[in-house]
Amino acid sequence: MIEFSTVSKVFPDGTRAVDDFSLVIPSRKTTVFVGSSGCGKTTLLRMINRMVEPSAGTISIDGDDIAGQPPVQLRRRIGYVMQNSGLLPHFTVAENIATVPVLQGENRKKARTRALELMETVGLDTAMANRYPSQLSGGQQQRVGVA
């Protein structure tokens, strides 16, 4: 569960991007943020992983205030699928999928085995494991992002 509690964000130039926003996002449900351009959706999402710090209010994950959590560890616990793939261009498909486990100290061989399993899960031929993102179609790149 992610909870926004009376969150506001005022950028240094005075723009009030988010004003006294509260919302509970339940676990194991799909939640969609819909709103007009410039209403604050991206700013709110960027506050969940501390890319943007709120000016007021608190954000908690499973009851713990994220303000007290180291940003790097916090971000490694969050999965992201980017619209424009967001893959590392100099890493192969398998290396991209294994990025976070390797950062967390998993040995490379195990991480690669798991990456190949995940490729199958998302319907990608494991023969593509050693390709670079630029050698994949847009849809295939997105599936690497999901994996």
Ligand X SMILES: Nc1ncnc2c1ncn2[C@@H]1O[C@H](COP(=O)(O)OP(=O)(O)O)[C@@H](O)[C@H]1O
Q: Which residues are at the interface with ligand X (CB under 6 A)?
A: 11, 13, 15, 17, 35, 37-43
- What is the smallest separation between the CB atom of 132 and ligand X, expressed in angstroms? 30
Place of tokens 């908690």: 60
Q: How far is the CB of 52 from ligand X (least distance, A)?
A: 8
Using CA atoms, how far apart are residues 43 and 54, in angstroms rounded to an integer?
Answer: 9
d(CA 126, CA 131): 10
- Which of ligand X, Mg ion, none does residue 130 bind (CB under 5 to 8 Å by kind)? none
Q: Is 121 in the site for Mg ion (CB under 5 A)?
A: no
Q: CB count, 10 Å around CB of 77?
A: 10
Q: Give the span between the Cα atoms of 91 and 18, in whole angstroms.
A: 36
Strand partners, 9: 18
Among ligand X, Mg ion, none, what does residue 37 contact (CB within 5–8 Å per kind)?
Answer: ligand X
Determine the size of the site formed for Mg ion (CB under 5 A): 2
Pick between residue 24 and residue 51 the one whose CB is nearest to ligand X: 51
> Taking CB under 5 A as the rule, which mask of x and - marks residues 35-74 in contact with Mg ion?
------xx--------------------------------
- Residue 15 binding Mg ion, by CB under 5 A: no
Nearest alpha carbon to residue 80 among 56, 58, 103, 100: 100
